[in-house]
C-alpha cells in the first residue's frame, strides 16, 4: 500500500476549472455587450424623411449621441441631464484626449467627433438650434440629424 491508513485525507477542491469558466464567461459578455445601443432613447419618435440615409463615419470618427425629447430635454442612458453642462464635459474629455494624442492640437481646433442628434419629431427647431449652437461653442463642428425613412409601428 502506498498510503498509510493513519494519514488524514485533505479534500481540497480544484478551483482551476471553475475559475477558468468564470473568466471565459466574463470575457464573452464583455465582448458581446453593446454600449452604443444603450445610448439610444427608443422612446423618441424620430422624424420621417424619405431621403434619410445611414450615417457614414468613414470608420474613424467617434460618435457623440444626443437624445432630445419633445420638450428639448437631453436624456443620456435614460437619465435627464443638463444639456450645456453635459456637452461642456464631453468637450473637455475630447480635448484632453486630443491633446494627449496630438501635441499640436490647440483648444480652439475643431474636434473630430461627430455629434449625432436624435430628436423627437415634435421638438421645436429653436431647441435643436440651441443644442447645435452649444456644441459649436465647445468645438464640435460635425453634425448628423437622425431620421427614419418610413413610419414604424401603428
Angle between helices 83-101 and 125-137 (to 10 degrees): 30
Helices (H), 3-52: 16-32, 35-39
Q: Using only C-alpha atoms, what is the Rg of the chain?
A: 25
Cell of 103: 501635441
Residue 1 has pLDDT above 50, yes or no: no
What H or E segment, with its residue span, contains residue 116? strand 111-119
Q: Among the listed ranges 50-59, 62-71, 94-103, 126-135, which one has the minimum average pLDDT value?
A: 50-59
Residue 37 pLDDT:
55
**Residue range 19-36, pLDDT digits in tens:** 999 999 998 888 877 655
* Cα–Cα dist 138/66, whole Å: 15
The grid cell for 138 is 465647445
> Facing residues of 106 across strands?
none
Please state the pTM of the whole predicted model: 0.62
- What pLDDT digit, counting tens, does each position of 101-130 carry? 887 877 777 788 888 888 887 888 888 888
Q: Which of 21, 23, 63, 3 is nearest to 39 (CA)?
A: 63
Amino acid at each position: 500500500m502506498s498510503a498509510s491508513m493513519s494519514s488524514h485525507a485533505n479534500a481540497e477542491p480544484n478551483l482551476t476549472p471553475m475559475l477558468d469558466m468564470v473568466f471565459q464567461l466574463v470575457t464573452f459578455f464583455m465582448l458581446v455587450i453593446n454600449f452604443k445601443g444603450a445610448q439610444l432613447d427608443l422612446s423618441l419618435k424620430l422624424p420621417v424623411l424619405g431621403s434619410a440615409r445611414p450615417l457614414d463615419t468613414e470608420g474613424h470618427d467617434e460618435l457623440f449621441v444626443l437624445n432630445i425629447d419633445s420638450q428639448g430635454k437631453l436624456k443620456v442612458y435614460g437619465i435627464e441631464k443638463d444639456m450645456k453642462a453635459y456637452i461642456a464635459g464631453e468637450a473637455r474629455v475630447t480635448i484632453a484626449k486630443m491633446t494627449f494624442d496630438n501635441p499640436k492640437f490647440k483648444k480652439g481646433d475643431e474636434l473630430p467627433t461627430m455629434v449625432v442628434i436624435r430628436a423627437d419629431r415634435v421638438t421645436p427647431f429653436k431647441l435643436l438650434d440651441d443644442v447645435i449652437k452649444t456644441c459649436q461653442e465647445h468645438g464640435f463642428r460635425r453634425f448628423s440629424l437622425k431620421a427614419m425613412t418610413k413610419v414604424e409601428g401603428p
